[in-house]
């Protein structure tokens, strides 16, 4: 489901009385685009329910990018009277300046990509210029079903879903983008870029559907609105795919517009994915298609993943690493940012936040915090989060510049979403993560290129490959590559056999994960321990992993040193003892970590050769 926090916030904002406007100058224009790389940047939502404008808590936690409301609430209610509008604009400017003065580097403004709230009053306060630019009543901007009836919102009440293809809605949204940028925001976060499960068949969508088909060399006999609605109903595969391009095209238009106002502005969206199993099914429901949307985003935000890493009371382990691996395969190499939650609670206890930050960092993903805590928790939460943020930032270059180790390449043909709601690779990736078997996922976009750099390929089955890919697989096998199909219960054993000598061996409790990354002169092993239980919104319990033994193959012949570092207070950072083994496939380094609390890095430095 789309995020609901905007609604809660709207209520809050309605009762918000503008503070005395400070006579601060408008924010200085940014000199460059915001830093978005994981660990260099740290993100936070600054508002939730009764906790608005939490830039201070965010800054105290080490956050560098915040997601503020800005003028977002005015955007989805259709603008207030001109005096209030001006006051809100000034207020927004002041808040952005204030956030910057706290050390926040970038402030994104919120806009809802589809919601209109209160149609009766939506256009009451438009300026003559805005009215001139718009040619129809907001009631006509709504998404429509296959009969042309307007669709009501999944939120109910006063909410109405506008169509992202409607030219007047786009004009209105461009106006709001300009207002957010003019008040100092560094970018836009679009919430709910969704298409109704029963839509949208409005005349503008039908026109776009014709263009979509033409680009695929499909020419319907007739292209009237009525004919195209029938065509869409008779050709659900085409229509499903078309729906998934609506948000992408909308975001592309908004970004292009925003860049004419400030070339450094960044645009992102709520890409949903709030459950690890919905990568394919969310394309069918609200047309959240990450492969398409990410083409028009400067970075991808995954909001409220329910698989917050942890151990549940019944011993079940939750984790996001398999999801991150799949996402990196499909988002066209833009940065990835994720926020995780447990038990539908927007408050996450501090050790669990630190664990989620480590898990994300290990998988080249930036973490996003809800820095929206009750006052009595703010100091404690920030003081627990901050050391982890600082530690990750210290190691950011080390982590970002190194490439993931790959014993196995997993093929995820994303195009299959249209045929099934279940992504088989989700389960495969989960098993590989749990086994600490180094792997990477690739989509159809870079399949051949990445296959050429691999030795073992894992497929759901050979039938997922198209003709071209089958040829590429044949060549791969002819060159000595091994192919394993993830069929039946135990495909992991034949896979390990195909790999032969695994480049990583971990002896540890099964909650421990090790992620290897290689750069020219060093190999990094990121260790983290999932054994943290959530006791309440602000309490958790860490069970340290003892006697962790890591054995890792390194791509060099001599080792100068192995250094352990961690943000965990009880861990002494510094050089650690190691032993070397010469094997057929190279040098293996063995290290013992007597106790692993939440996260630690082993950095293996190359010696003189």
Stretch that binds Zn ion, among 76-84, 157-165, 307-315, 546-554 (CB under 5 A): 157-165
Nearer to Zn ion, 242 or 597 (CB): 242
Angle between helices 424-434 and 321-330 (to 10 degrees): 130
Residues 6+ apart with CB under 8 A from 330: 290, 291, 294, 412, 414, 443, 445
Count of H-run helices and E-run strands, the chain: 19, 28
CB of 221 to Zn ion, least distance (A): 22
CB of 197 to Zn ion, least distance (A): 14
Question: CA 603 to CA 582: how far, in whole Å?
Answer: 19
CB of 190 to Zn ion, least distance (A): 17
- For 455, the token pair is 């030795």
Q: Does the footprint of Zn ion cover residue 604 (CB under 5 A)?
A: no
Q: What is the DSSP string of 216-272?
A: TT---S--SHHHHHHHHHH-HHHHHHHHHHHHHHHHHHHHHHHHHH-TT-EEEEB--
To 10 degrees, the CA torsion angle through 594, 596, 601, 607? 10
Cis preceding linkage at 293, omega within 30? no
Q: Does the footprint of Zn ion cover residue 202 (CB under 5 A)?
A: yes
Please give the backbone phi and psi of residue 593, each rounded to the nearest 5 degrees, phi first: -115, 105
Stretch that binds Zn ion, among 204-212, 264-272, 461-469, 575-583 (CB under 5 A): 204-212
Nearer to Zn ion, 68 or 247 (CB): 247
Stretch that binds Zn ion, among 22-30, 197-205, 519-527, 601-609 (CB under 5 A): 197-205
- Among all chains, which residue has been given the structure tokens 């924010």? 27
Please give the backbone phi and psi of residue 3, each rounded to the nearest 5 degrees, phi first: -65, 145
CB of 245 to Zn ion, least distance (A): 12
- Size of the residue set binding Zn ion (CB under 5 A): 5
Nearer to Zn ion, 41 or 245 (CB): 245
Q: Does the footprint of Zn ion cover residue 163 (CB under 5 A)?
A: yes
Stretch that binds Zn ion, among 87-95, 162-170, 462-470, 478-486 (CB under 5 A): 162-170
Nearer to Zn ion, 163 or 486 (CB): 163
Stretch that binds Zn ion, among 203-211, 228-236, 330-338, 462-470 (CB under 5 A): 203-211
Nearer to Zn ion, 200 or 458 (CB): 200
The CA-based angle 572-42-188, given to 5 degrees, is: 175
Q: What is the DSSP string of 26-53?
A: PPPPPSSPPP-SBTTB-EEE--BTTB--
Nearer to Zn ion, 27 or 200 (CB): 200
Q: With beta carbons less than 8 A apart as the criterion, state whether 413 and 441 touch.
A: no
Q: Does the footprint of Zn ion cover residue 408 (CB under 5 A)?
A: no
Stretch that binds Zn ion, among 120-128, 160-168, 212-220, 228-236 (CB under 5 A): 160-168
Binding to Zn ion (CB under 5 A): which residues in 205-224?
205
Cα distances from 113 to residues 3, 116, 342, in angstroms, run 12, 9, 26
Nearer to Zn ion, 146 or 262 (CB): 146
Q: In what order do the strands lie in the sheet with 574-575?
A: 403-404, 512-518, 522-529, 599-606, 559-565, 574-575
Q: Does the footprint of Zn ion cover residue 200 (CB under 5 A)?
A: yes
CB of 144 to Zn ion, least distance (A): 6
Nearer to Zn ion, 177 or 247 (CB): 247
Nearer to Zn ion, 150 or 398 (CB): 150
- Residue ranges that bind Zn ion, judged by CB under 5 A: 163, 165, 200, 202, 205
């Amino acid at each position: 489901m789309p995020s609901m926090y905007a609604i809660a916030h709207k209520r809050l904002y309605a009762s918000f009385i503008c503070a005395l406007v400070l006579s601060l100058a408008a924010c200085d224009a940014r000199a460059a685009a915001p830093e978005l790389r994981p660990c260099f940047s740290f993100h936070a939502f600054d508002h939730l329910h009764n906790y608005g404008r939490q830039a201070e808590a965010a800054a105290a936690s080490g956050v560098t990018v915040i997601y503020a409301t800005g003028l977002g609430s005015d955007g989805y209610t259709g603008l207030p009277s001109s005096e209030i509008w001006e006051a809100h604009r000034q207020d927004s400017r002041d808040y952005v300046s204030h956030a910057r003065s706290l050390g926040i580097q970038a402030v994104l403004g919120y806009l809802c990509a589809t919601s209109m709230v209160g149609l009766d009053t939506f256009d009451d306060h438009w300026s003559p210029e805005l009215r001139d630019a718009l040619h129809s009543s907001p009631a006509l901007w709504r998404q429509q079903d296959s009969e042309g009836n307007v669709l009501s919102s999944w939120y109910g009440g006063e909410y109405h879903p506008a169509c992202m293809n409607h030219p007047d809605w786009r004009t209105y949204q461009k106006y709001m983008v300009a207002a957010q940028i003019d008040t100092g925001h560094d970018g836009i976060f679009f919430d709910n870029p969704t298409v109704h499960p029963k839509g949208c068949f409005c005349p503008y969508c039908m026109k776009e559907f014709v263009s979509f088909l033409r680009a695929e060399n499909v020419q319907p006999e007739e292209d009237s609105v009525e004919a195209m609605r029938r065509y869409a109903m008779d050709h659900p595969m085409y229509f499903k795919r078309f729906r998934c391009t609506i948000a992408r095209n909308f975001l592309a238009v908004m970004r292009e517009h925003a860049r004419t106002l400030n070339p450094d502005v960044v645009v992102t969206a709520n890409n949903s994915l709030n459950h690890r199993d919905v990568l394919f099914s969310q394309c069918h429901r609200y047309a959240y298609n990450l492969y398409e949307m990410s083409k028009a985003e400067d970075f991808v935000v995954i909001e409220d993943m329910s698989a917050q890493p942890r151990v549940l009371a019944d011993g079940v382990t939750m984790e996001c690493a398999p999801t991150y691996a799949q996402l990196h395969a499909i988002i066209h190499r833009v940065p990835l940012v994720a926020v995780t939650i447990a038990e539908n609670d927007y408050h996450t206890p501090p050790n669990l936040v630190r664990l989620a930050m480590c898990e994300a960092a290990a998988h080249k993903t930036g973490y996003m915090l809800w820095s929206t805590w009750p006052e009595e928790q703010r100091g404690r939460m920030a003081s627990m989060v901050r050391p982890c943020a600082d530690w990750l930032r210290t190691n950011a270059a080390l982590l970002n510049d190194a490439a993931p180790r790959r014993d196995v390449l997993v093929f995820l043909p994303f195009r299959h979403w249209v045929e099934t709601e279940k992504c088989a690779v989700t389960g495969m990736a989960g098993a590989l993560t749990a086994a600490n078997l180094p792997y990477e996922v690739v989509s159809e976009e870079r399949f051949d290129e990445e296959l050429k750099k691999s030795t073992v390929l894992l497929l759901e089955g050979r039938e997922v490959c198209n003709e071209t890919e089958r040829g590429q697989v044949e060549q791969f096998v002819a060159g000595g590559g091994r192919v394993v199909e993830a069929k039946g219960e135990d495909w992991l054993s034949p896979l390990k056999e195909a790999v032969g000598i695994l480049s990583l061996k971990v002896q540890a409790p099964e909650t421990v994960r090790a992620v290897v990354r290689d750069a020219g002169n060093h190999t990094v092993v990121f260790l983290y321990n999932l054994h943290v239980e959530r006791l309440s919104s602000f309490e958790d319990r860490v069970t340290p992993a003892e006697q962790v033994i890591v054995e890792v193959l390194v791509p060099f012949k001599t080792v100068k040193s192995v250094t352990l570092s961690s943000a965990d207070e009880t861990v002494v950072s510094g050089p650690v003892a190691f032993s070397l083994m010469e094997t057929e496939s190279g040098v293996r380094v063995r290290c013992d970590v007597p106790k692993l609390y939440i996260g630690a890095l082993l950095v293996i430095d190359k010696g003189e050769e």
